[in-house]
Amino acid sequence: MKAMEESTVLDAKVLELNMGPQHPSTHGVLRVKLKLDGERVVDAECIIGYLHRGVEKISENRSYIECVPYYDRTDYIAAVSNVYGFLLGVEAMMQIEVPKRAQYIRIMMTEFSRIASHLLWLATHAIDIGAMTVFLYCFREREEILKLFEALFGARLTTHAFRVGGLWKDLPPGFVEAARKFIDEFPERVDEYEQLLTKNRIWMARTQGIGVISGKEAIEWGLTGPVLRGSGVRHDVRKDRPYGGYEEFDFDVPVGENGDTYDRYLVRLEEMHQSRRIIQQVLDRLPDGPVRGKAPKIVKPPVGEYYSGIDGPRGELGYYIVSDGSAHPFRVRIRPPTFISLQVLRRLVKGHLMADVIAIIGTLDIVLGEVDR
């Protein structure tokens, strides 16, 4: 009977199509096994793990300070905020005071990394749907941010941004001016993308009503970040459980209404504007002072466990750190936002067309380095 059910390509009603891991639009090494009826998706199965490096396990054999660069390499698109989440946890366990200036700079750089990450998302999302020009426009702006990263951290992608207790170095000369120049020009640039996409009939037809998920269901799936906010749930760790000084800044949390791909697009665009507002405030109020607090050379948090969650560009990025009092973490569990949002892919693509799978993978904004860790 089993043999009867299996079908060949020729007489198949259902075509099984392997999308990835080398497919151009699966954003890395995601493999999706699609079952297609014509072009309609009957079922989809995500196969992950092609980029698994065991970052969590490696952490157990490294000191707290040595762990940090590994987290750059989980979500390599927003490396700055990854490190931030872990360090906040360590600092809270050790009760290390971070100087005000360092806090402000950390927030600024995290928001810059959010903008850079959203730009990359918009670029790839747009080119997946065929709007090639937006791709290069976004990279133009992202380049400017990466230059800022390079000036401060000495690296563009895997930045190893922050240290326990603050920063490695203070801002280099000319940094504030360059940052100001960028945020002054930035709204105009976003308007350019909007001109090409927001009211574009084809863009709307390709994104509206695609991958709809209600707010209630999104919470049940454990979604966070723009994917959850696109469904109308006003959840943002920066507002709900402010960390690292976010309570001092004024910003809005944009939410969508319909929970479709188009709303998530609008939410992320608005988030870029809000990040810009935060950076503006940081630059206006940047205090003087040291950038590194009193941190011991060897970090040995007291016995205990701590969960530190931040709002990364892709959602709530959590680090659950268990310390046994030694210089190595006993266990670090990372809560990667896109690992959790990827599980909803199957639910979202069912019944849509093959071309929508691309749009939905794009709108979830996955990073396989983080999914697989």
Partner 1 sequence: MNENVFIENLLIYAVIPLIKIVVIVLVLSGAIAYLTLLERKLIAHIQVRLGPMRVGWHGLLQPIADGLKFLLKEDIVPAKADALIFTIAPAISLIPAFLVFAVVPFGPPDMLQDFLGWTLGWFPFLNLDEATTERIAQNAIASGGYVTDINIAVLFVLSVSSVGILGIILGGWASNSKYPLLGALRSTAQMVSYEVALGFAIIGVLLVAGSLSLVEIVQNQQQEQLWYIFVQPLAFVLFFICGLAETNRLPFDLPEAETELVGGFHTEYSGFRFSLFFLAEYANMIAVSAIGVVLFWGGWLRPFPSFEWLNFLNFIPGVVWFLGKVFLFLYVFIWVRGTLPRFRFDQLMQYGWKIFLPVAMANVIVTAGVILAFL
Note the residues at the interface with partner 1 (CB under 8 A): 9, 15, 17, 23-25, 39, 126-133, 135-137, 140, 196-197, 200, 202-203, 205-206, 353-356, 358
CB closer to partner 1 out of 124 and 323: 124
Q: For residue 195, with 0-12 CB atoms within 10 Å meaning exposed, 13-18 middle and 19 or more buried, which class applies?
A: exposed
Q: Compute φ and ψ for 97, nearest 5 degrees.
A: -85, 125
Site of tokens 């100087």: 99
Tokens of 269: 């665009």
Closest of 258, 254, 255 to residue 208, by C-alpha: 258
CB closer to partner 1 out of 202 and 303: 202
CB closer to partner 1 out of 200 and 343: 200
CB of 205 to partner 1, least distance (A): 5
CB of 262 to partner 1, least distance (A): 12
CB closer to partner 1 out of 131 and 342: 131
- d(CA 65, CA 75) in angstroms, rounded, equals 18
CB of 181 to partner 1, least distance (A): 18
CB of 142 to partner 1, least distance (A): 13
CB closer to partner 1 out of 216 and 350: 350
Helix (H) or strand (E) holding 305: strand 304-312
CB closer to partner 1 out of 253 and 353: 353
CB of 134 to partner 1, least distance (A): 8
Whether residue 368 contacts residue 29, with contact meaning beta carbons closer than 8 Å, is answered with yes
CB of 202 to partner 1, least distance (A): 5
- d(CA 252, CA 171) in angstroms, rounded, equals 27
CB closer to partner 1 out of 37 and 252: 37
- d(CA 47, CA 8) in angstroms, rounded, equals 23
Site of tokens 């660069």: 69
- List alpha helices for the chain, DSSP H: 2-5, 55-60, 64-72, 79-94, 100-128, 132-153, 175-197, 201-207, 215-220, 225-229, 237-240, 261-285, 337-342, 345-349, 354-364, 368-372
CB of 212 to partner 1, least distance (A): 16
CB closer to partner 1 out of 59 and 363: 363
Q: Go through 169-183 and write b for each residue having 16 or more CB atoms within 10 A of its CB, e for each that does not.
A: ebbeeebeeebeebb
